Chain A
């Protein structure tokens, strides 16, 4: 029997229930699909790179793919650690394009990291947008040039603030074609 939920969010150690509920609600709205939230307990030390003092996002993505993904669902691992891939200094998240799995982290999304006053609402919105963005890739969408579209590429938090937590008309059509 097919799982009723096409999207699965797995929290790896995010303690704020309110934040996770907000993410779940935002993802449900954006994809218009039922979403399930799960929690996983995992020691992340093995994914820590001592030299870079960051967590290897490639390995985390592979771990989620191997242990939590299924063919009938898009699964995203939610983290609060600093992610990197070997060639880049940091990333907010990544996904297998048109695959089953994605990862996203809230680590670099808070204002306080950049010396600005903490803003919980803005932080939650940024995280929700990044989660939707990475899931968009898992559904086969590539970066979009529409400024307000969630699939617009973001390299700084300011870029994330410019876009909305939803898809532009063109991406909506593409999403409909891929997700059915």
Chain B
């Protein structure tokens, strides 16, 4: 079990030693400082659960130190020690954010009570934070809307994978909801009471990403004013979600592989090896296997990450879910805009079901939100949809060419699923095969 840590700050050696010994016997990891400056510099390098500080000290006094600590670490638990004559100062300390104060000398029982309460507060805060994260994650899991077979299959995979500790790569087009799937895996795993830490790799430069993932020590680079935990450290006992993994540099790929293999790392500018027990989930809209073949993504890293692959279907592949999704987004936005729920015109819905949605669910969500804003407040009409003007114009006069383009379009829509394409075109599978041969259609065209 991890020991609780305490920092004792007092200029009197006898007080420091007494408290040091007392807390050592109580099983704490104890450190002490003889003045506020030394204490602040120790806080730069280490996090303490409790800080027990005398108010009256030469140089910077306990109150000034308390204010400085609270500026840097707002949730620090600071208990101030004061003499009988300075109770007013103790009250000021409470106003400045001290957890409690004691007047010295105090009863052993008072000290035990105080420390027990402080530890209870620390545990409650950490539990509260974990539960808040959990609730956020669970709410988001409900956002996975769909009753199509492809969605059902994917959710069953998610449920199955969540119980293991395996690395997962989530693939899928942009806007399909890959992060939601990562949250669903985490929320259904045994790690769910610990943090899910997300990193959007594509949004950060190489050096920023390095500092973000591994943390940094004070002075490691310009602007590194304080020590900072990295995302791997924050994800201890939980899950780290690396979005847009395909965008990371070759150097970062090497670093990442090393961390995944050893589960240890060193902060930027630091020397101490830090261990963290995390599960890794990655997401990408790129074809990683192709990138490996082209040499732009490390093969060893690919296999390390790709223990399980979950493919999130595009909206085109599950357009039967569109009415459900439309209804969900209408409720969501009408509630957030404090409006009564609007209806959906049949023609408008049909138009949505015919549309390709290159931006997937995210695009549908934006379309519905916009339609509610610009609409008449009763129902969403065709004219409220921004895509009503985008009906593809026929650019050819040849009937054969028209047929070829249409078949290619529908094949693409159903990702070359022959049965579904044939059904959509109202022809049998043999006829479809004949037409594919006739027009020399190929999947990658």
Contacts and interface: CB of A to CB of B under 8 A. Distances in A.
Given A86-B14, A88-B107, A155-B108, A96 B19 contact: no
B25 A97 contact: yes
Contacts of B431: none
Nearest to B19: A87
Contacts of A155: 107-109, 112
B105 interface: yes
Contacts of B14: 58, 85-86
A88 B110 CA distance: 9
Interface string A48-92: 000010000010000000000000000000000000111111110
Contact residue range for chain A? 20 to 34
A132 B26 CA distance: 16
Contact of B109 (A52, A87, A156): A156
A27 interface: no
A87 B15 contact: yes
A143 B25 contact: yes
Given A58-B14, A58-B17, A58-B18, A88 B25 contact: no
B156 interface: no
B17 A142 contact: no
B24 A88 contact: no
A94 interface: yes
Interface in B336-390: none
A142 B26 CA distance: 6
Contacts of B22: 85, 87-88, 94
B152 to A, nearest CB: 49
Interface residues of B, number: 21
Given A58-B14, A58-B17, A85-B18, A91 B108 contact: yes
A84 B21 contact: no
A88 B18 contact: yes
A88 B23 CA distance: 13
Contacts of B111: 87-88
Counting chain B CB atoms within 10 Å of each CB, the highest count among A86, A87, A95, A142 belongs to: A87
B414 to A, nearest CB: 63
B402 to A, nearest CB: 81
B26 A143 contact: yes
16 contacts: A58-B18, A84-B105, A85-B18, A86-B12, A86-B105, A87-B22, A87-B81, A88-B105, A88-B111, A89-B107, A89-B108, A90-B108, A142-B27, A155-B107, A155-B109, A156-B109
